[in-house]
Structure 1
Amino acid sequence: MAQPALTKFTRRSLALALQSAEGTPVPPDNGTDGIRLYDGSSGTEFDEFTENPDRPHFTGNPFAVTNERAFIQGNFRLYPPETPGDSSDGTPDCHRLLLPGGMTQVLDDVGGTTRYNPVSSGIALSTAYWWHAGTHLQVVDARHQISSLIMQIGQRYQGQVRVQGSYTGMLEENLPSVTLPGTLGPVINSANSKAAITVLPGGSPLAVWAKSLSIDFGSDLKTKEYTEYKTNAIDDRLASWTMRIARTAKADFDPWALRSAGTMIQASMRVVGAGDKYSEQGIRGQIRDITPVDIDGDYGWELSGPCVASDAGGDEFWIEFGTETP
């Protein structure tokens, strides 16, 4: 039997499109829907029903496959769109990853901002096509699990995503030509970034020397089956944050006192790139852990805790793209 030619493992591409409704896949357009993923991988999973019949000998137990699902995962970059806030050019390349991850977009043309806030219902769906060295995986009715969304000195603004949905089998197909975004976003450094912490309610932002700010959505993503119905749903979200900063003066910011009092804070970090366009992420939450850490030989704190929404909801963390001088 003739075998296919050997194919390099690193040959892989992702195209992803948003779906308007469950059960209605939208085949991605390879020319416009390419996603630049880093260290991407894929896999298939299932639940199993295991049989344990009585037997007169040692042997493994047979099983049946149920609730099959597939995933595509990897790292991605976040950077501003061409014209933040604009209805035509205000959507960034990461938009199709964020919405099925449990976020909504708010365009402000006057203020020149494109902002993403978390939502708890009406979460978007996606169809993802993944090619890897001669194999082709189609994941439909997918939702996304986003973690390790981090701004860190010496790195680009990035996050990790897991696209999880239904599939009907692995196909064989040569890697097609997929057009990928050409933008990378700036590497974060001392000259193009700033960070602040605000004590709520009503406090003034305190500029801090930050090394990093990360957010983990903590999404509970499940594939569920019923009679005549299958869905991929985010059942819960317990977001958390971590920030590394140089020690502040106690009179300016006392994390132990704020933790003891259960005080809410806001923390944010921003990087400004070409065209004076910025990317910012921030959190609203409490301080749970205060860990002294060595940051490049200096004494610093690693602060972390839960992201906590106000009574209105949807403000426990955010991502914003804008222009410093709109």
Structure 2
Amino acid sequence: MQPVNFGILGASDFAARRMGPALHAARGARLAALATSSPAKATAFTAFAPDLTLHESYEALLADPAIEAVYIPLPNHLHVDWGIRALQAGKHVLIEKPLALRAEEIDPLIAARDASGKCAAEAYMIVHHPQWQLARRWLDEGRIGRLKHADVVFCFDNPDPGNIRNRAETGGGSIPDIGVYAYSSIRFAARAEPVRLASRIKRENGVDTFAQVWGEMAGPGGEFTFAAMTSTRLFPRQEVTLQGETGRITFTAPFNAAAFDQAEITLHGMSSTETHRFPGVNQYVLQVEAFARHIRDGEPFLWTLEEARKGQAMIDLVRAGEI
């Protein structure tokens, strides 16, 4: 398969640490260009991709005929606009999460994808990790009986007031930053959608820094209770438990696999325990490889814009349910 030439709009720290190296390492993909007006920021990328073409503007990268696909790690409020521009420029586009600030904002992006005939998706990498695919299979097979409760915690400490995740004007906050994991991971694993949700939210300078969510979701096995806590002001913690009638599933590093801890998923049954570990698995690389196959071979991509819209609708429901 001819590698897909990717360009990145913006030299974000996350792109330099995670997605840039993943684009460079993935089979079927090649990191070919970067758009940034900062030579200093570009050095973090040229360190692992010395042949990178540098563009001083986003428009220049979109006009580059050698670039087939664009990865967009810009601040949250810019995702839809630049995603549409990339599609209109004839590029495939992979956009960082959360895709938008409200669910209805994604509709023009879906329309632009359909009009362009290009591929477009949200970079929701965890669904490409085998631990989440295994959890989904266990639930489908009824390995823990009917799912009755899902419990999620994701928190870390980010007190920097200058960070875009702590700025209201860039769509910051713990809910868009990590709530997208806490909520849609359960949507994916249980093939479920929320039914009723309530929340308590704490804010600093206009952005949420703590959110406690509870309610009910419904999937193929019926309704189950749901509880989630996210915060960007607490000691790092990541935990997921899927509680069934006859067993439970637990994760040690559900979201930042390998970075937070080694990815490990355990099925606790009535009389046995089954554990799977995934050393060396890079979910960002797996995501890029899947997107490249989606472009080249038309292989279905696990996380469509429609799935991203449903995820954002759940975030909107969390906010609407504040008490």
User: For the superposition of Structure 1 and Structure 2, which TM-score range results when normalised by the shorter chain?
Assistant: under 0.3
Higher strand share: 1
Q: Which has the higher contact order (CA 8 A, sep 6+)?
A: 2
Q: Report the TM-score when normalising by structure 1.
A: 0.27
Report which of the two structures shows the higher radius of gyration computed on alpha carbons.
1
Higher helix share: 2
